[in-house]
Structure 1
């Protein structure tokens, strides 16, 4: 194999956005190592700049020919570009939300941003992974970074409790997902690339259909945990309530987007033989998530717990796009995710500003907020009404597009 052929198959330019994020992480950590606490003056700007540069690199990759990279293990197609863009944008918006919150807690900002960008990196690779090992490594990069972010406020007992719960339940879900993936590996005769697995399963479906259904059950359980779908949502309210609010904001968007990217890539490519079955399962999960998430949210007294249950309900709407299974369905899901990014992160920004002033996130404390801060009240109302799908706000059109698709 000559060098030109090797370079063409590696196609390393396709992971330029991820390379920019890695470089940003190194700059932040080395700068903090050299300058110490004084680096907090420029570190947030470096993180935001790196994220925006990654978004620009993704935009330049749109419709640039061959999307396969690293011998087909990474797919930088249009679907991957959009989901990677959503994840890195959610990180870029989370950074300015984190500055005062982290500094007020007395913890190191540079380390926090380094872990946040590492989680972003895992989500970006997961969105384009086209091979089982890459999928699992990317998933664990995102998961482990999320555990660290959840427990980053070491002096806060609620943060420590949330991190422990997230770690234990997350480790169990990763084990379940890995078991499903290992079944796929065995049923396909030792293949790791998704397209090759699908081809081999199509040939041997007669003798391995029961094993295929079992693998599907474990894979769906692992994915449903990541997107916080009912009944795999039990971790969400406690983790969201105890975690630092900027972390909750990122998990509610970035982690969810990575989970849906994985669902589309893995289920559509690998399980066409049981497509009706997994669509039926996700239909049930979507209905349960929409009903339970929105009803239970009404009974909450904490704003963060209410938004946690709201995110479960929003995941149900996104699952409708996955169930549709057409280009229009995926487009409606992506559009709703982009709308959800801004209305949910906007809502969490308002919650952070309020909690920095009052030290609480109890809904009862929001009484009379309009008289104290009309602008904050207006922004919070717009975000919450948009999450509820009230016309003529963007959330209404997002839901309308999903049902129209």
Structure 2
């Protein structure tokens, strides 16, 4: 009923636009030019894949680079667009907030693909098919960042989710990958059903409208229990997407069982889309319930920071440790969301951009180590500096940045978040964030100590049998380039933190919805 009513609403809008000459203005197809570039790359990859695996291995990587690079250029051209107009009958808005998060999603996909070529080829799976599914997930995430209609949000959410299920179970011969995909599918399907039910309640409250503007107007004049129930359902969906406690149960198993390049994308691209959805629907729609959802998110942030960082201490797998670390990192980002100030929102955008490079840099090191040893156990990294200084240095710098050690980029990202929280009197969140940051530093430095401090005779058997380093193998130069790039930006990005914060502030001030909420 909700979907049928939405289709009828869209049809009426198109009809009225056609009658008044406003259809071209309502469609505004140029707003999704970056997504069109990604879609063209996706279709081209699938066509090339039909020519055979040899042709796909040669042509799919440059096609993906061209598509995602074009998308990033088009996003840059859209920045600070004057006379901003909604697209597709008001279901998509390419404001600065959407552009910033879409850029994070596209960049995370680009780096994830650079990390994946050698991994996918070694596993004997089709390169074109893998790239096509990952680009489909990217499309869903990018559309989700700018969706302003309940229908477009649901379609984007499911495009991202279904593609993610396929990617999680892509290693069909690996029982852990199949288990991860099944768990992700079951929990994700439940989250989708919860969102759809909450959206149907909002549709009923508006009297038949699906646009977020209409929902916001209806909620300002309604304070019924149904409204509170819709808020809980929508908040649960957002919390699932960003892996906040207690909706985090899928994260450790999915991270451990999924192919590592897929985990790299899920940890950044999917999470960025989730935070964009949180801003769009909570700040934009539930502004009249500001105190209620901020209280709930305060609880979620505290639980995420505490549980994520404490449980990470006991992990023996690098991927599971980073899974719990990502839960804690989501708690840090939620500080900016709860603040609801310009500095808070800007700090969110800045930290997601910083998290892109430091987290993907860490995953690049894990993938390289896994390709050479087949292991992701933390104990197997003992003495690694003797055999592979590049991985040791890169992983050390990225982990120190994730822990918030100066002068790394992650340190300045956390400083801006904590400053915004303190200025808004969110003392509990800031104190918990500081304490749990110290806890995270302990388990990050434990990994670094394992790699660097061990004597030669104490090196793990895996490191003792470490193969000779060769960079002329297909796929490895791209992986090394991504690793070096992420590490350099993570290490020296702190110097550029002020220009980055100015960029993040423009993402907030160039978004009418956030300006209205701050005012």
TM-score range, shorter chain: over 0.9
Q: CA deviation at 1:198?
A: 1.1
SS at match of 1:70: coil
Match of 1:392 in 2: 407
SS at match of 1:155: coil
Q: CA deviation at 1:36?
A: 4.0
Q: Quick check: 1:126–1:258 contact (8 Å CA) kept in 2?
A: yes
Match of 1:339 in 2: 354
Match of 1:353 in 2: 368
Structural mapping, 1:49-64, within 5 Å: 49-64=66-81
- Select the residue among 298, 312, 316 that pairs with 2:327: 312
Q: CA deviation at 1:385?
A: 0.7
Q: Quick check: 1:227–1:260 contact (8 Å CA) kept in 2?
A: yes
Match of 1:322 in 2: 337
Displaced runs of 4 or more, over 4 A: none
Q: Distance in 2 between matches of 1:58 and 1:381?
A: 32
- Select the residue among 112, 130, 141 that pairs with 2:130: 112
* Ranges in structure 2 where 5+ consecutive residues have no aligned partner: 1-17, 421-519
Structural mapping, 1:160-309, within 5 Å: 160-203=178-221, 205=222, 208-309=223-324
Question: CA offsets, 1:84-121, max 9 Å, x none?
Answer: 00001100000110001000101001100000000000
Match of 1:91 in 2: 109
Question: CA offsets, 1:4-50, max 9 Å, x none?
Answer: 63212211101000111110001111111134432211201211221
Match of 1:76 in 2: 94
Question: CA offsets, 1:259-282, max 9 Å, x none?
Answer: 000000001111112110000110
- Select the residue among 11, 26, 30 that pairs with 2:28: 11
Q: Distance in 1 between matches of 2:257 and 2:54?
A: 26
Larger Rg: 2
2:54 is the alignment partner of 1:37: yes
Q: Quick check: 1:37–1:108 contact (8 Å CA) kept in 2?
A: no
* Ranges in structure 1 where 5+ consecutive residues have no aligned partner: none
Match of 1:46 in 2: 63
Question: CA offsets, 1:328-349, max 9 Å, x none?
Answer: 2111001000000000000000
Q: Aligned pairs, how many?
A: 402
Match of 1:28 in 2: 45
Question: CA offsets, 1:35-92, max 9 Å, x none?
Answer: 4432211201211221111010000011222241112110100000000000011000
Q: CA deviation at 1:2?
A: 6.5
Q: CA deviation at 1:190?
A: 1.4
Match of 1:159 in 2: 177
Match of 1:135 in 2: 153
Structural mapping, 1:358-397, within 5 Å: 358-397=373-412
SS at match of 1:42: helix
Q: Quick check: 2:53–2:127 contact (8 Å CA) kept in 1?
A: no
Moved more, 113-122 or 58-67: 58-67
SS at match of 1:34: coil
Question: CA offsets, 1:160-184, max 9 Å, x none?
Answer: 0100010001101111111111111
Q: Quick check: 1:282–1:323 contact (8 Å CA) kept in 2?
A: yes
Q: Which has the higher contact order (CA 8 A, sep 6+)?
A: 2
Question: CA offsets, 1:322-377, max 9 Å, x none?
Answer: 11112221110010000000000000000000000000100000000000111210
Q: Distance in 1 between matches of 2:238 and 2:26?
A: 30
TM-score of the superposed pair, with normalisation by structure 1: 0.97
Q: Quick check: 2:401–2:410 contact (8 Å CA) kept in 1?
A: yes
